[in-house]
């Protein structure tokens, strides 16, 4: 039975049949009005309860996630601060062992040099010459008046010359003694400079220790804040994680472009080595081989950084014994160096292949073959790039570690914001479902407005007729 036949069940006239169906449906809806209202409200209550429970669950999940993010952030901050403090204490220990460890010997040297300087100073004391005891008597005699006697004048002149000669000898002796004192002072100068340099070194060491002690105090204060779990520490760590996330992400993007350049250097010669017509699915075998070489270089770089304890992505490597870790370090460096040399040779092979293709194109075009004068410059550049890029990609481990640690916090905050938005949406949806149920009840009553109107009119008439009867009965009773 088609829909048209079903609609014309009561009469061949479509309008009459539709009218009959309308009356039947209207009557059915009127008779089932109360159950329909209960069903609509029950359904909306169920849906609203589901939305409210889901919203509450999202709120609880958001709170648990916020607590987890807080714990992860504080643990990461505590671990980082402890690492910084460990390095600061190691540096302080190195400074103390290197500079202050020889303090007894330094004290002995300074004491010896101070004694030597004191001795030099004592020897260099300026002592004026003492005039002879008879000089005063001779000077008195030289002042006796001659009274015109020539012999007395000669005697006095001789005495005067003797006194002047004695004075000149004394001055020469004093000058010689002063020159000797100056030589002693000259010997004291390098000792004084050496002592001053040693004291400056000690002062520099003490200043460095003082600066490091201040840095240690700052980090200790930060560590105490993190252990207390204060809101200031959480906000600071969140801001730092967000900054590290974007900075390390930018560096990783730069490293990605470097990897693309590295891939282009070795993709062409690898197609000649492994065959350019071999495919693994939709990817050429040469591309896969080039990617494998780059991935091996990156892996060796990660192991090298882990062996140097610059990064801590693999705790197993950091927990190795020093001897085993050093062996792994040299093994990683050796493999990385071999891969870099292989890549450099592949880059040179790429330049040769490019030159061969250019010569072939010129020959096919009938052009005269030209030999470039400085063909070795791009070849050398490609070889250097092929040698340097693997070692440059080694340092990807540092931003990668920062990105991973920061990504945990950033992703946690994004999930927290998503759960908060979802909870708000579900809460709004529960209210919308409640009002939608009331709207559905109203729409249902609108569909059967004719029977409801008739029912209202009959109810009003019955009410109007019953009021006079009640008044007449009340009058009789009185």
**For residue 17, pLDDT beyond 60:** yes
At residue 139 the predicted structure's pLDDT band, cuts being 50, 70 and 90, is low
Higher pLDDT, 472 or 33: 33
Distance CA 330, CA 309 (A): 14
pLDDT band at residue 250, thresholds of 50, 70 and 90? very high
Tokens 């105490």 sit at which residue? 224
The average pLDDT across 314-324 equals 82
Top mean pLDDT of 152-161, 248-257, 275-284, 310-319 is at 248-257
pLDDT at position 33 is 79
Portion of the chain with pLDDT greater than 90, in percent: 4
Residue 143 predicted with pLDDT over 80: no
**Which of 26-35, 181-190, 279-288, 305-314 shows the lowest mean pLDDT across its residues?**
181-190
∠118-122-127 over CA atoms, to 5°? 160
Mean pLDDT across the stretch 286-298?
A: 85
What is the reported pTM? 0.63
Which of the 8 DSSP states describes residue 102? T
Q: What is the tens place of the pLDDT at every residue in 112-127?
A: 666 666 665 665 555 5
DSSP string, 329-369: HHHHHHHHHHHHHHHHHHHHHHHHHHHHHHHHHHHHTTPPP
Task: Dump pLDDT digits (tens) for 430-475.
Answer: 888 888 888 888 888 788 777 777 777 777 777 776 655 555 555 5
pLDDT value at residue 410: 87
Quickly count: other Cβ atoms within 10 Å of residue 427's Cβ.
17
Q: From the centroid of its chain, how far is CA 98?
A: 32
CA distance linking residue 178 with residue 172, whole number of Å: 10
The span from the CA of 168 to the CA of 165, in Å, is 5
**What is the four-CA torsion angle of 314, 319, 320, 322, rounded to 10 degrees?**
120
- Mean per-residue pLDDT for 330-357? 80
Contact 283, 332 (CB under 8 A): no
**Cα→Cα distances 438→35, 87, 256, 448, Å:** 15, 68, 58, 16
Instruction: Please give the sequence-ordered ranges of beta strands (E in DSSP) within 219-293, or none if there are none.
Output: 279-280, 283-284
Which residues, at least 6 apart from 415, have a Cβ–Cβ distance to it below 8 Å? 65
**How far from 209 is each of 2, 92, 94, 202, 203, CA to CA, in Å?**
98, 7, 11, 11, 10
User: For 360-374, what is each residue's pLDDT tens digit?
Assistant: 565 666 655 555 555
- What is the per-residue pLDDT for 449? 73
Does residue 101 register a pLDDT over 70? Answer: no
**pLDDT score of 98:** 67
Q: What is the pLDDT of residue 364?
A: 64
Give the pLDDT of residue 286.
77
Per-residue model confidence as pLDDT tens digits over 279-291: 777 777 877 888 8
Number of Cβ within a 10 Å radius of residue 365: 7
For residue 400, pLDDT beyond 80: yes
Tell me which H or E stretch contains 144: none
Q: pLDDT class for 421, splitting at 50, 70, 90?
A: very high
Q: Please tell me the predicted confidence (pLDDT) of residue 363.
A: 62
Q: Give residue 312's pLDDT.
A: 82
Q: What is the pLDDT of residue 282?
A: 74
Over residues 149-178, the pLDDT tens digits come to: 666 667 667 766 776 777 677 677 766 766
Q: What percent of the chain has pLDDT over 70?
A: 67
């Amino acid at each position: 039975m088609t829909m048209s036949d079903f609609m014309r069940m009561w009469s061949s006239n479509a309008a009459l049949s539709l009218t009959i169906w309308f009356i039947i449906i209207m009557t059915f809806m009127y008779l089932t009005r109360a159950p329909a209202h209960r069903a609509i409200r029950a359904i909306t209550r169920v849906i609203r309860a589901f939305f409210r429970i889901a919203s509450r669950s999202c709120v609880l999940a958001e709170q648990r996630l916020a607590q987890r993010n807080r714990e992860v952030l504080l643990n990461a901050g505590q671990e980082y601060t402890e690492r910084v403090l460990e390095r600061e204490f190691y540096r302080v220990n190195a400074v103390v062992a290197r500079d202050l460890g020889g303090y007894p010997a330094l004290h002995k040297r300074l004491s010896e040099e101070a004694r030597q300087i004191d001795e030099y100073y004592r020897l260099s004391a300026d002592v004026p010459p003492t005039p002879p005891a008879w000089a005063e008597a001779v000077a008195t005699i030289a002042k006796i008046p001659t009274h015109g006697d020539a012999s007395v004048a000669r005697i006095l002149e001789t005495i005067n010359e003797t006194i002047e000669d004695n004075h000149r000898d004394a001055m020469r002796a004093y000058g010689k003694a002063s020159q000797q004192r100056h030589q002693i002072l000259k010997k004291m100068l390098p000792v004084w400079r050496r002592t001053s340099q040693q004291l400056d070194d000690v002062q520099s060491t003490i200043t460095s220790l003082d600066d490091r002690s201040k840095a240690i105090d700052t980090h200790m204060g930060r560590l105490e804040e993190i252990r207390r779990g204060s809101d200031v520490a959480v906000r600071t760590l969140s801001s730092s994680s967000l900054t590290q996330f974007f900075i390390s992400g930018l560096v990783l993007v730069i490293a990605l472009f470097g990897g693309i350049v590295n891939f282009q250097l070795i993709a062409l010669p690898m197609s000649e080595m492994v065959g350019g017509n071999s495919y693994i699915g939709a990817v050429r075998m040469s591309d896969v081989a080039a990617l494998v070489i780059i991935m091996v270089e990156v892996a060796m770089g990660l192991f090298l950084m882990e062996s140097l304890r610059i990064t801590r992505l693999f705790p197993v490597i950091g927990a190795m014994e020093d001897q085993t870790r050093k062996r792994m370090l040299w093994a990683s460096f050796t493999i990385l160096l071999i891969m870099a040399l292989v890549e450099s040779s592949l880059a040179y092979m790429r330049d040769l292949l490019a030159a061969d293709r250019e010569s072939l194109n010129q020959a096919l075009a009938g052009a005269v073959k030209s030999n470039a004068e400085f063909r070795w410059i791009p070849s050398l550049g490609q070889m250097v790039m092929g040698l340097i890029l693997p070692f440059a990609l080694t340092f990807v481990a540092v931003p990668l570690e920062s990105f991973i640690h920061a990504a945990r916090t950033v992703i946690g905050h994004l999930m927290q914001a998503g759960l908060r938005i979802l909870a708000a949406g579900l809460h709004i949806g529960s209210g919308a479902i409640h009002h939608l149920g009331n709207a559905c009840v109203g729409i249902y009553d609108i569909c059967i407005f004719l029977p409801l109107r008739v029912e209202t009119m009959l109810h009003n008439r019955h009410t109007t007729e019953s009021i006079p009867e009640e008044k007449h009965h009340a009058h009789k009773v009185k």
